[in-house]
Amino acid sequence: MERKIGFIGLGVMGASMSSRLIDAGYTLYIYNRTKSKGDALVEKGAIWCDTPRAVAENADITFTIVGYPKDVEEVYLGRDGIIAGASSGKIFCDMTTTKPSLDILIAEKLREKGAEMADAPVSGGDTGARNGTLSIMVGCSESTFSSLLPCFEVMGKNITHMGSVGSGQHTKMSNQIVIAGTMCGVSEALVYGAKAGLDLEKMVATISKGAAGCWTLDNLAPRVLRGDYEPGFMVEHFIKDMGIALEEAERMELSLPSLALTKQLYLAIKAEGQGKKGTQVLVKALEALAGKEIL
């Protein structure tokens, strides 16, 4: 018998991920704070629920991907939240990038009701969500991972079981630390190349074939050259992720100076009213430091 799937959070990532699950033949129960974001999915056959609790009551497996830790708390721990509708044998998987400690707490509360929990943050942006090529970093028991794997395979390509609950979030923090440094490097290269008078398309094509090659050069640098600063991944969400990573680093008595600097640059971008732009808008902060528009 085909399992019924719940999906909560229908933003840039969640809308595409849930659409792929419908296309794969799953019966999908959905909820989003802004109901209109679910209209297209309902037209495809998804079943709208008025609360996260209702999704949890109807679905065998429920996925969540929302914005901030406070949103995760509301969806799981609120009066009409998931835990209120959880029961024995059900599985819940948080794909939000959030605090490891929060998903561990939620897992403990779900176990009290006989339900299982996984944390499975993703990387790959809007393109990966649309194409089903996300990298998925999973923290849960072996049995829960096996139950979730068929759904993960609809949404992603690089799916790794990292360990117990919380391990997925820690892996995603490592991912975001790398992205922060890479985004700075790519942005600086574009501003430098523009100032030097290079053909930027040629420059990007050339260096992306060597040791500098990376996802950011392949996917975000071309957006900058087109003047496209719309999200794949929003600045304000990246600031949230960097904050979590720095908080965890402080707890572990680690210094991450490059990450701290990158966060400050992004905070400056947000202060200029560009918090909902894509992370590639970092080049604008570097232009501001140069005192003139370069790209």
The catalytic residues are 172
CA–CA distance, 114 with 217 (Å, rounded to integer): 45
CA distance 61 to 250: 35
Residue 206 CA to residue 213 CA, distance in Å, equals 9
Helix (H, G, I), strand (E, B) or coil at 169: helix
Q: Which of 285, 292, 265, 283 is nearest to 191 (CA)?
A: 283
Q: DSSP string covering 204-266, please?
A: HHHHTTTTT--HHHHHTHHHHHTT----SSBHHHHHHHHHHHHHHHHHTT---HHHHHHHHHH
